[in-house]
């Protein structure tokens, strides 16, 4: 890899989980966009990786999956010892194999299994069910006496209930799915129970393996049940689906269940909390959106940009190639910094300002190209419906303490949002 090295302090920020819970990561991104939008991070314990911070470059890589594949290297930033551990367990750099870790021809074959479920027409058919869950969430919110932690009391649970309802997981198991999701996505956050103590890379990898094994055991039982007792849910579809005339292999089936369970919950929770943060802090915004509910979709879209729950994904180069005048070698690893692309001043004027009037809002939080988020339409629908149910009940809302963010360079967002509110 050629020497186009970014400063050590900036590189260290990119691999430091606490930086993602503060403005430190955005300070690093701002510096990189202005001074070195495509440089190489060299950090002890990690293989070198290109750092992609501009909106246009992230789009180009995302739209060229053959040139920049997902399956060759880990799709999340992983230490050298962590990758070695994954390879020892699975024979690949991945602890799970979901749509995210697939290239063609497998990717489209697997994507098509469930794609119809997540298209706008089918998502709209589930609006009544989603609204019933949103009403329950709004009823619970209204019962909290004018004070709550919006993340822990509402945003964390409502999206989980929606995706579990579609998948077919019984309500008695929602708590287990919430815990596993937090442990998989928030594994480096000190508030996540299994990871409070300082761990070596090998111990950390072993604990992640435990989380994946929990998912596997749970969904293998679901699979057996749905084969014996099919229902109208996604679990039944996956339990009985075939690829190339054979049932899904267990490794891939677990990956599919896992990506739907986790990606459909934690990311939506973060964006939902971000929208409430804006309503509680941005002068005049609450009154404006309450008076004109047609602005809710714009509030949601800007919250998705502002929070960018999936901060980074990794890709690699399939061949020697050039980008932004710099030479990449085959198998070079690269970090797509979506949270940077979504603050790129060339695309978003006053990018650090929460502004629901951005038109168009070309946010990258759902990715692009072949790996464009399968659940994007469901996520927008459930967030819109929740605020359609919440806002008519509210007279006012404001912060009631310091918001706190989770520490993770993969999926992160608000983990605590204390607010006080008055009911209409």
Quick: pLDDT tens for 211-256: 778 888 888 999 999 999 999 899 999 999 999 999 999 889 988 9
Number of domains observed in the structure of the chain: 1
Q: Does 417 reside within a domain?
A: yes
What is the model's pLDDT at position 255? 86
pLDDT < 70: residue spans in the chain = 1-3, 184-207
Q: Does 365 reside within a domain?
A: yes
Question: Residue 305 sits in a domain of what CATH number?
Answer: 1.10.630.10
What is the model's pLDDT at position 279? 98
What is the domain extent for residue 14? 8-423
What is the model's pLDDT at position 197? 44
Q: What is the pTM of this model?
A: 0.92
Q: Does 248 reside within a domain?
A: yes
Q: Does 3 reside within a domain?
A: no
What is the model's pLDDT at position 200? 63
Q: Does 2 reside within a domain?
A: no
What is the model's pLDDT at position 1? 46
What is the model's pLDDT at position 195? 45
| Nearest 10 degrees: Cα torsion 177, 182, 185, 188 | -150
What is the model's pLDDT at position 194? 44
Quick: pLDDT tens for 369-413: 999 999 999 999 999 999 999 999 999 999 999 999 998 888 899
What is the model's pLDDT at position 203? 67
Report yes or no: 235 and 169 within 8 Å, Cβ to Cβ: yes
């Amino acid at each position: 890899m050629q020497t186009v090295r970014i400063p050590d302090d900036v590189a260290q920020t990119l691999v430091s989980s606490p930086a993602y819970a503060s403005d430190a990561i955005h300070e690093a991104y701002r510096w990189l966009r202005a001074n070195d939008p495509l440089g190489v991070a060299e950090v002890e314990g990690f293989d070198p990786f290109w750092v992609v911070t501009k909106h246009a470059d992230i789009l180009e890589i995302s739209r060229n999956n053959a040139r920049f594949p997902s399956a060759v290297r880990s799709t999340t930033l992983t230490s050298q010892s962590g990758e070695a551990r994954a390879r020892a367990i699975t024979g690949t750099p991945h602890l799970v194999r979901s749509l995210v870790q697939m290239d063609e021809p497998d990717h489209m074959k697997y994507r098509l299994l469930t794609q119809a479920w997540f298209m706008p027409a089918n998502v709209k058919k589930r609006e009544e069910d989603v609204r019933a869950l949103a009403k329950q969430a709004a009823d619970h919110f209204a019962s909290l006496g004018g004070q709550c932690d919006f993340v822990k009391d509402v945003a964390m649970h409502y999206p989980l209930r929606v995706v579990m309802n579609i998948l077919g997981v019984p309500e008695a198991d929602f708590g287990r799915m919430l815990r596993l999701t937090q442990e998989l996505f928030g594994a480096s956050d000190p508030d996540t129970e299994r990871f409070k103590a300082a761990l070596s890379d090998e111990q950390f990898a072993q604990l992640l393996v435990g989380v994946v094994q929990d998912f596997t055991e749970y969904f293998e039982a679901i699979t057996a049940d749905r084969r014996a007792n099919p229902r109208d849910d996604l679990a039944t579809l996956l339990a009985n689906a075939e690829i190339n005339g054979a049932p899904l292999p267990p490794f891939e089936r677990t990956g599919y269940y896992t990506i739907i369970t986790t990606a459909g919950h934690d990311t939506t929770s973060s964006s939902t909390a971000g929208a409430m943060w804006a309503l509680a802090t941005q002068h005049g915004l609450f009154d404006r959106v309450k008076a004109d509910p047609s602005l809710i979709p714009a509030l949601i879209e800007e919250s998705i940009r502002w929070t960018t729950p999936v901060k980074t994904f990794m890709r690699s180069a399939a061949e020697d190639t050039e980008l932004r005048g710099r030479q990449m070698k085959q198998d070079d690893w690269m970090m797509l910094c979506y949270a940077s692309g979504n603050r790129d001043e060339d695309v978003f004027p006053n990018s650090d300002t929460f502004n629901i009037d951005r038109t168009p809002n070309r946010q990258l939080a759902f990715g692009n190209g072949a790996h464009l988020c399968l659940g994007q339409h469901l996520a927008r629908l459930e967030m819109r419906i929740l605020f359609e149910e919440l806002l008519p009940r509210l007279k006012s809302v404001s912060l009631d303490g310091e918001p706190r963010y989770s520490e993770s360079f993969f999926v992160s967002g608000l983990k605590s949002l204390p607010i006080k509110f008055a009911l209409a």
